[in-house]
């Protein structure tokens, strides 16, 4: 590790219905920030992006970290972020385009925030600088909020939309990439979407499965959980809760899979309330600043995707 600081927000790493417990991901790096969420790792594995937020989430910036000689470098604010409310990055399969969510105005001479839209930046090669951000426009973006882009190898575009004109909460949509352009997005079926909130969808590169966040569903373990739906010739299967090994009684969300590893964000809180002996200041600060203290953290665990969920 190089030049890391202390930060109270972490990311967890998980594999499929893993038996091992999720572990904090790169906590020496991510604990620099009050809250961390929605990780993206580049296709070649040499770059990592995640969102860092203030304690109450009013300030939100995308952080970029490069890898050198097998170790992650010091984090930096991504070249296209740091001015507006930005979050939820996702790399295109070739690593030359990056999608993210922002409230930045369409006209950069303005300062008033827009609703949430999906934007993108591009680069000529993997060593080039990112371009100026561009709004995806119609048919992806609308007058409503769009969030959490995820793209399959076919180019099909999955995302969340908060369409307040419908008698529903957030739903997950897909826009089919056909002949070089995106078709009008359609919501995924009721095997995935419900009358409650569905969000943060990660699509497998081959579209064999979808991971997503669901809030207060009937089979939920508390707050938000991560679910999986598998795709077959007959369509999407009924979504399954990933279970108590991955999901907690707090908010678990923002799934991302890379190299048979599931990364996700969790607000799980294992702070010890009752102590065997009185705390001194040193022990108190250790307890306050533990990884699983209720702040948003990044975790990881082994996950084998569709191979784990064969019929």
Give residue-wise pLDDT tens across range 210-236.
Answer: 999 999 898 999 899 999 999 999 999
Distance of CA 223 to the CA centre of its chain: 17
| CA distance linking residue 19 with residue 43, whole number of Å | 27
| CA distance linking residue 65 with residue 73, whole number of Å | 6
Q: How many CB atoms neighbour CB 112 within 10 A? A: 7
Q: What's the pLDDT score for residue 19? A: 65
Q: Do the beta carbons of residue 225 and residue 213 sit within 8 Å?
A: yes
Q: What's the pLDDT score for residue 304? A: 81
Residues constituting the chain: 311
pLDDT tens column, 92-146: 999 999 999 999 999 877 777 789 999 999 999 999 999 999 999 999 999 999 9
Q: Considering only CA atoms, which of 94, 154, 156, 153 is closest in space to residue 124?
A: 94
Q: How many CB atoms neighbour CB 167 within 10 A? A: 6
Residue in the block written with tokens 């409650």: 196
Q: Which residues of the chain have pLDDT under 70?
A: 1-19, 167, 305-311
How many helices (H) does the chain have, and how many strands (E)? 2, 25
Which pair of tokens denotes residue 127?
Answer: 């060593």
Dihedrals φ, ψ of 287, to 5°?
A: -70, -40
Q: What's the pLDDT score for residue 298? A: 97
Q: Do the beta carbons of residue 140 and residue 175 sit within 8 Å?
A: yes
Judged by DSSP in three states, 34 sits in coil
| Cα→Cα distances 113→95, 135, 289, Å | 28, 14, 33
Tell me which CATH code domain 23-302 carries: 2.115.10.20
Domain spans, the chain: 23-302
Q: What's the pLDDT score for residue 311? A: 38
**b/e sequence 274-298, b meaning 16+ C-beta within 10 Å:** eeeeeeeeeeeeeeeebbbbebbbb
| Cα→Cα distances 65→46, 51, 120, 145, 169, Å | 9, 11, 18, 28, 34
178, HSE (Cβ side, Cα atoms, 13 Å): 6
Residue in the block written with tokens 């079926």: 189
Q: Is the pTM of this model over 0.85?
A: yes
Reported as type and span, the H/E element at residue 189 is none
Q: What's the pLDDT score for residue 45? A: 94
- For residue 293, the 8-state DSSP code is B
């Amino acid at each position: 590790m190089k030049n890391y600081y202390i930060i109270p927000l972490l990311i967890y790493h998980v594999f499929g219905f893993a038996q091992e417990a999720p572990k904090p991901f790169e906590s020496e790096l991510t604990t620099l920030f009050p809250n961390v969420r929605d990780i993206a790792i580049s296709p070649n594995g040499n770059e990592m992006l995640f969102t860092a937020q203030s304690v109450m989430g009013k300030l939100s910036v995308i952080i970029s970290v490069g890898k050198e000689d097998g170790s992650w470098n010091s984090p930096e604010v991504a070249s296209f972020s740091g001015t507006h409310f930005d979050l939820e990055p996702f790399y295109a399969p070739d690593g030359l385009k990056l999608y993210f969510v922002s409230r930045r105005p369409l006209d950069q001479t303005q300062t008033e925030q827009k609703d949430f839209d999906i934007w993108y930046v591009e680069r000529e090669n993997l060593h080039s600088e990112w371009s100026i951000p561009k709004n995806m426009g119609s048919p992806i973006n609308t007058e409503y909020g769009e969030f959490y882009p995820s793209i399959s190898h076919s180019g099909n575009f999955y995302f969340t939309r908060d369409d307040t004109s419908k008698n529903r909460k957030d739903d997950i949509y897909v826009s089919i990439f056909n002949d070089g352009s995106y078709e009008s997005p359609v919501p995924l079926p009721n095997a995935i979407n419900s009358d409650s909130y569905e969000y943060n969808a990660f699509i497998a590169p081959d579209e064999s499965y979808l991971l997503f966040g669901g809030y207060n569903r009937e089979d939920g373990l508390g707050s938000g959980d991560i679910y999986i739906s598998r795709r077959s010739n007959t369509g999407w299967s009924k979504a399954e809760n990933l279970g108590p090994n991955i999901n907690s009684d707090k908010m678990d969300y923002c799934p991302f899979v890379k190299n048979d590893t599931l990364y996700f964000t969790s607000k799980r809180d294992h702070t010890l309330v009752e102590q065997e002996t009185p705390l001194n200041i040193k022990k108190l600060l250790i307890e306050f600043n533990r990884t699983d203290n209720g702040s948003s953290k990044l975790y990881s665990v082994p996950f084998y995707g569709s191979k784990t969920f064969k019929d």
